[in-house]
Amino acid sequence: MEEIKEYFGMPITKAAAEMNVGLTVLKKRCRDLGITRWPHRKMKSLNTLIHNIQELGKGSGDTSIRKELESLQAHRRLMEENPEIQLTEKTKKLRQACFKANYKRRISMLRCQLQ
């Protein structure tokens, strides 16, 4: 588990290549360890959310943003230890809100460029 844990941040095909094992062998070993799904996308989503929250909190010294950031980083550490852990509903809603805000910002930038 210690060896595999290092590769959770990359796609499973790349992780298998880095470890010099076949994809099927890696998946079988993961199933033996109780990992049903490779956590790359979940980890990437959480890292993106952490990055977005950091960007949001750059200008302000808001303690609630700092606490949320610490909570997300703690959740990431837990996920590295146990990739089967699920995101909390609060984290899912925060992720959705950040995605929606980024989407609206991109759309408004496109509209400005078209005008």
Q: CA-CA distance, 3 to 29, in Å (whole number)?
A: 11
Number of structural domains, the chain? 2
93 and 69 in one domain?
Answer: yes
pLDDT above 70: residue 61: no
106 and 53 in one domain?
Answer: yes
62 and 111 in one domain?
Answer: yes
Q: pLDDT tens for residues 11-54? A: 999 999 999 999 999 999 999 999 999 999 999 999 999 998 88
Q: pTM value? A: 0.77
pLDDT above 80: residue 56: no
Structural domain harbouring 74: 41-115
45 and 13 in one domain?
Answer: no
Q: CA-CA distance, 67 to 105, in Å (whole number)?
A: 25
63 and 14 in one domain?
Answer: no
- Helix, strand, or coil (residue 71): helix
Question: Token pair for residue 54?
Answer: 């950091």
Q: Give the mean model confidence (pLDDT) for residues 53-67.
A: 77
